[in-house]
Structures are given as C-alpha cells and as structure tokens.
Structure 1
Amino acid sequence: MADASPRHPTVSSEAEQLILVDADDRAVGHASKAAAHDGCGQRHRAFSLFIFNGYGELLLQQRSRSKRLWPGYWANSCCSHPHQGESMEQATERRLQQELGMRCPLRYLFKFEYQADYRGLGAEHELCWVYAGTCTQPVRANATEVEAWRFVAPAALDREIARYPEHFTPWLKLEWAQLRRDPALSACLSPPAGG
C-alpha cells in the first residue's frame, strides 16, 4: 500500500458519515462508513461512475488491497458516497478528481439498489446512482485508493467477466449487465464521433 502524501492523499476513512436512505432514496439518518458496512450493511446513498476514453474503452480500477471490502478486485472507474449537504453533482466531481485526477461531464444513467456480503467481513447495501462520461485527460490515480488501472473494450470486458467473474466486484457486474442489455443506455458505450 502506498503511503499518503500530497500526491496520494487519504480521501476516505471508516469514520466518514454516510447518508442512510429508505427504499425511495429519502434520507433517514447518518452512520459512519464502518457502521454502514457492518453485518448485512445499512442502506446508504452511493454513486458509481463509468469513464470511457475517446476510443469507447472503459476505465477499470483495481481496488486498493488495504480496503476492507473487495480488496484487489476490479471495479468500474470510480465509486463512492456523497457527503451530507453535498449534491450528487458535487460529490461525483469531487471524488473523480480525488481518486483519478480527472474532470469530465457526467451523464446520469439510472439508480438501483443492491446488497452484497463479503466473506463475513461486512457488506454493501447501497442505493446507487450510476453515471457515465467520456474523458481524454490522463489518469492520475490516487495510490491510497487504486491498486492499478486499465482501459478495456466493452466486448473484451464481457468476455473477461464471463470467464473470471470472481475477479470483479458485485456492483460492477450488476451495473455492466444493465448497461449492456438496455438499448436506451447502450449509447454511452459508443465512442464519440471522430473518437
């Protein structure tokens, strides 16, 4: 694990407060990140970003091995939680910059709820907002959050998930399946004109 430094600052902690929500995404309270992920997890608001390059390839990140849940697993470009009083637009912009050193316009795609347990060490129970964007800026990954990163073509990711599902986080597999099967969402998987 890389040490925190000005180039790789610590941007999350088990003490940070997450927004607990009901099934309709109405705030019902707060809990620490640690408490929200204990046991079967408490439903909380989250977001998940899919960042594509100019060739229509998806940026994947390998989660830091210091993470409590799914360490070393491959996930989509960026995932996190909004802070209290922060809009989703502010939260996604903040985290994309903190984690990958990138800025780009994002398009809201869909919202969904999932719950997934990790080896008895805790669980995710998120009401997750999913966004996509295209960015040609270089990746400047924060090593306290990201072990490794790579770009992959959609068809290649389909094959890799089918062959090695155990290498990927449950939310990536759920979100990617929805993106691939919904024609209204699949436009985000096409490279921009001239890309």
Structure 2
Amino acid sequence: MNGTQEVILVNERDEPIGTMEKIEAHRKAALHRAFSVFIFNSKGEMLLQQRALNKYHSAGLWTNACCSHPAPGEATADAAHRRLQEELGFSTGLEKIFHFTYQTAFDNGLIEHEFDHVFAGQYEQRITPNPEEVKDVCYKSLEDIQQSLQTHPQKYTSWFHIAFPKVKEWAVQQGLVQPTI
C-alpha cells in the first residue's frame, strides 16, 4: 500500500472537486477518478493479471492488465501509461474506449466508488511483472474468460465483471475478435 497517495475526487460528470488520501477515499466511498487498462495480443486474446496477495483489496483475484488512480495534476492517460510500466514492465500505445462508474464494498470495510476511464492497447513482447503488484499474468481468449466469469465469478475483481462485457463488445466492433453466436 502506498502510504499517502492522493486521489482526485470527482462529481458524476468526472469534474474534479478536490483531493483525498486514497485509503480515506475508500473508507468514505468518495467518488474518485480511476482507470483500467486492457491489453490484447494479435490473436485477440486479453492479457489478465492476478493481483498480488499483499494488495489491500481483491488480493489474488484475476483482472485486466492494470488499474489505478491518476495523481492530482496528472492526466489520466499519462497515469495509465505509468502504471502499465510500473506493474507489468512495458509500454504500448493506449486508446480510451469508454468510461463507467461503479461502487463495490469489500470485506475489509473499504469501498471502491470510482469513475473509471477504460483504455485498450496491443502488446506482443516480454512482460516483466512487478511482484509487489502482480502474482501472475496470462493471455486468454475472450470466450474462455467469459466462461470462467460464469463458472468461477469469485476469481475475478468486481470492476472486471462490469468492464469485461463492454470491452468485449468494443473488441468485436474493432475486429480484434470474431463475434460469438
């Protein structure tokens, strides 16, 4: 856990209204800006990461390539690039594809209430995960992920359950994957 990291508090239109220490924002369920990065390979498979076991929530769960919060004064796209490098050890082009707001309570008393900007990119080369952030990584087909979400929903983060169908729809529209019947 990063000591005193500040997050950007926002209203329902993602307009900044202040800042707050990250854990305090999660204790108070304060709406704040966040981002999620989804990475695909040339086969249309999605990169998943298993969160490190020492994470303050959702430890050991599978999710998208990376996610976090921009710092006050930091552009959300710049923060997405920064965290991709910090968590997985690589950089690639990213495109914002949509955003959504969600709220989830965790067993430890913390509550995620985030205005989440979703970015997508493509990457084929070496991945060097930071063991403080990531336990494991793999690429999986969207069909395999969808089936696993249905049969083992407890293995995935709450925000991944919300974002995945929207990312899958975007990937089909972009021609990255074929639609399933």
Aligning the two structures, in what range does the TM-score lie when normalised by the shorter sequence?
Answer: over 0.9
Question: What is the match of residue 117 of structure 1?
Answer: 105
Question: What is the match of residue 132 of structure 2?
Answer: 144
Q: What's the CA shift for 1:90? A: 1.2
CA distance in 2: counterparts of 1:174 and 1:84, whole angstroms = 26
The counterpart of 2:48, out of the listed 52, 60, 83, is 60
Percent of aligned positions with the same letter in both sequences? 34
Question: What is the match of residue 6 of structure 1?
Answer: none
The TM-score normalised by the length of structure 1 is: 0.86
Aligned residue runs from structure 1 range 5-44, under 5 A = 13-39=2-28, 41-44=29-32
CA distance in 2: counterparts of 1:177 and 1:144, whole angstroms = 28
Q: What's the CA shift for 1:189? A: 6.6
Q: What's the CA shift for 1:55? A: 1.5
Matched, 1:130 2:118: yes
Which consecutive unaligned segments of at least 5 residues does structure 1 have? 1-11
CA distance in 2: counterparts of 1:187 and 1:80, whole angstroms = 26
CA distance in 2: counterparts of 1:167 and 1:33, whole angstroms = 25
The TM-score normalised by the length of structure 2 is: 0.92
The Cα offsets for residues 75-102 of structure 1, whole Å up to 9 and x where unpaired, read as: 1110011111111221111111111011
8 A contact 2:57–2:108 mirrored in 1 = no
AA partner of residue 32 (structure 2): H
Q: What's the CA shift for 1:120? A: 4.3
The Cα offsets for residues 2-24 of structure 1, whole Å up to 9 and x where unpaired, read as: xxxxxxxxxx6141000000001
Matched, 1:186 2:175: no
Question: What is the match of residue 161 of structure 2?
Answer: 173
CA distance in 2: counterparts of 1:188 and 1:155, whole angstroms = 16
8 A contact 1:83–1:91 mirrored in 2 = yes
The counterpart of 1:155, out of the listed 116, 119, 143, is 143
Q: Which 10-residue stretch deviates more, 86-95 or 21-30?
A: 86-95
**Size of the alignment, in residue pairs?**
177
Q: Give the aligned CA root-mean-square deviation in angstroms.
A: 1.5
SS at match of 1:94: helix
Q: What's the CA shift for 1:60? A: 0.5
Which consecutive unaligned segments of at least 5 residues does structure 2 have? none
The counterpart of 1:86, out of the listed 74, 77, 90, is 74
